[in-house]
Amino acid sequence: MTKCPMCEKGTLKKGMVEEEMFGVSLGKFEAEICDKCGESFLDEAAMEKIEAKAKELGVWGLSKKIKVVKSGNSLSLRIPAKMAQYLDLSEGKNVFLYPDGKNRIVVEVA
Protein backbone atom coordinates (compact mmCIF):
# COMPACT_ATOMS: atom_id res chain seq x y z
CA MET A 1 0.00 0.00 0.00
CA THR A 2 1.21 3.45 -0.93
CA LYS A 3 1.32 6.31 1.56
CA CYS A 4 -0.35 9.58 0.51
CA PRO A 5 2.28 12.11 -0.63
CA MET A 6 0.02 15.02 0.35
CA CYS A 7 -1.00 14.33 3.94
CA GLU A 8 1.54 11.56 4.61
CA LYS A 9 -1.04 9.93 6.92
CA GLY A 10 -3.42 8.10 4.63
CA THR A 11 -3.14 5.15 2.32
CA LEU A 12 -3.93 5.32 -1.40
CA LYS A 13 -6.73 3.03 -2.55
CA LYS A 14 -8.19 2.56 -6.04
CA GLY A 15 -11.50 4.26 -6.72
CA MET A 16 -13.41 6.48 -9.14
CA VAL A 17 -13.35 10.28 -9.14
CA GLU A 18 -15.61 12.72 -10.94
CA GLU A 19 -13.63 15.21 -13.03
CA GLU A 20 -14.90 18.51 -14.36
CA MET A 21 -13.52 21.49 -16.20
CA PHE A 22 -15.14 24.93 -16.01
CA GLY A 23 -18.23 23.39 -14.43
CA VAL A 24 -18.66 20.81 -17.19
CA SER A 25 -18.58 17.16 -16.12
CA LEU A 26 -15.99 15.09 -17.97
CA GLY A 27 -17.06 11.81 -16.34
CA LYS A 28 -15.69 9.42 -13.75
CA PHE A 29 -12.14 8.13 -13.94
CA GLU A 30 -10.09 5.55 -12.07
CA ALA A 31 -7.68 7.07 -9.58
CA GLU A 32 -5.82 6.37 -6.37
CA ILE A 33 -7.59 8.16 -3.51
CA CYS A 34 -6.23 8.89 -0.03
CA ASP A 35 -8.41 7.35 2.68
CA LYS A 36 -7.57 10.25 5.06
CA CYS A 37 -7.43 13.54 3.12
CA GLY A 38 -9.38 12.50 0.01
CA GLU A 39 -6.72 13.74 -2.42
CA SER A 40 -6.86 11.84 -5.71
CA PHE A 41 -4.10 10.90 -8.13
CA LEU A 42 -4.70 10.02 -11.77
CA ASP A 43 -2.35 8.06 -13.98
CA GLU A 44 -1.25 9.15 -17.46
CA ALA A 45 -3.89 7.03 -19.23
CA ALA A 46 -6.69 8.66 -17.21
CA MET A 47 -5.26 12.12 -17.89
CA GLU A 48 -5.24 11.39 -21.63
CA LYS A 49 -8.90 10.31 -21.46
CA ILE A 50 -9.78 13.49 -19.54
CA GLU A 51 -8.00 15.65 -22.11
CA ALA A 52 -9.77 13.85 -24.99
CA LYS A 53 -13.18 14.29 -23.33
CA ALA A 54 -12.51 17.99 -22.62
CA LYS A 55 -11.58 18.50 -26.29
CA GLU A 56 -14.70 16.60 -27.41
CA LEU A 57 -16.90 18.83 -25.23
CA GLY A 58 -15.16 22.03 -26.40
CA VAL A 59 -13.82 23.11 -23.00
CA TRP A 60 -10.14 22.32 -23.64
CA GLY A 61 -8.09 25.51 -24.02
CA LEU A 62 -10.85 27.95 -23.04
CA SER A 63 -8.88 29.68 -20.29
CA LYS A 64 -6.79 32.63 -21.40
CA LYS A 65 -4.74 35.34 -19.74
CA ILE A 66 -5.87 38.71 -21.09
CA LYS A 67 -5.04 42.33 -20.34
CA VAL A 68 -7.44 44.92 -19.02
CA VAL A 69 -7.47 47.97 -21.31
CA LYS A 70 -8.79 51.50 -20.87
CA SER A 71 -11.78 52.53 -22.98
CA GLY A 72 -12.83 56.11 -22.30
CA ASN A 73 -13.43 56.35 -18.54
CA SER A 74 -14.04 52.61 -18.20
CA LEU A 75 -11.94 49.47 -18.29
CA SER A 76 -12.53 46.77 -20.90
CA LEU A 77 -11.85 43.07 -21.26
CA ARG A 78 -11.79 41.33 -24.61
CA ILE A 79 -13.44 37.92 -24.70
CA PRO A 80 -11.44 35.54 -26.90
CA ALA A 81 -13.36 34.31 -29.96
CA LYS A 82 -13.20 30.62 -28.94
CA MET A 83 -14.71 31.43 -25.53
CA ALA A 84 -17.40 33.67 -27.04
CA GLN A 85 -18.33 30.91 -29.47
CA TYR A 86 -18.49 28.32 -26.67
CA LEU A 87 -20.72 30.66 -24.59
CA ASP A 88 -22.84 31.58 -27.64
CA LEU A 89 -22.00 35.26 -27.07
CA SER A 90 -22.46 37.78 -29.82
CA GLU A 91 -22.49 41.54 -30.16
CA GLY A 92 -25.52 43.05 -28.46
CA LYS A 93 -26.20 40.06 -26.21
CA ASN A 94 -26.71 40.92 -22.53
CA VAL A 95 -24.56 39.55 -19.72
CA PHE A 96 -24.73 39.93 -15.95
CA LEU A 97 -21.38 40.95 -14.42
CA TYR A 98 -20.60 40.89 -10.70
CA PRO A 99 -17.67 40.43 -8.29
CA ASP A 100 -17.20 37.19 -6.39
CA GLY A 101 -14.83 38.36 -3.66
CA LYS A 102 -11.90 40.66 -4.38
CA ASN A 103 -10.14 38.48 -6.99
CA ARG A 104 -12.86 37.06 -9.20
CA ILE A 105 -15.36 38.47 -11.71
CA VAL A 106 -18.34 36.39 -12.75
CA VAL A 107 -19.97 36.95 -16.14
CA GLU A 108 -23.31 35.20 -16.62
CA VAL A 109 -24.79 35.04 -20.08
CA ALA A 110 -28.35 36.36 -19.88
Q: Which domain holds residue 16?
A: 2-56
pLDDT in tens, 6-31: 999 999 999 999 999 999 999 999 99
User: Looking at the 3D structure of the chain, how many domains does it have?
Assistant: 2
Residue 98 lies in a domain: yes
Q: What is the CATH number of the domain that holds 51?
A: 3.10.20.860
33 three-class SS: strand
Predicted TM-score of the model (pTM): 0.77
Residue 20 lies in a domain: yes
pLDDT (mean) for 38-62: 96
Q: What is the CATH number of the domain that holds 96?
A: 2.10.260
* CA dist 96 → 60, 84, 105 (Å): 24, 15, 10
Given its phi and psi angles, is residue 58 left (phi above 0), alpha (psi -120 to 50 degrees) or beta? left
Please report which confidence band the pLDDT of residue 1 belongs to, taking 50, 70 and 90 as the band edges.
confident
Number of H helices, E strands in the chain: 2, 8
Query: In the chain, which ranges are E strands?
Result: 2-3, 11-21, 24-34, 40-41, 69-71, 74-76, 95-99, 105-109
In this predicted structure, the answer to whether residue 110 has a pLDDT above a threshold of 90 is no
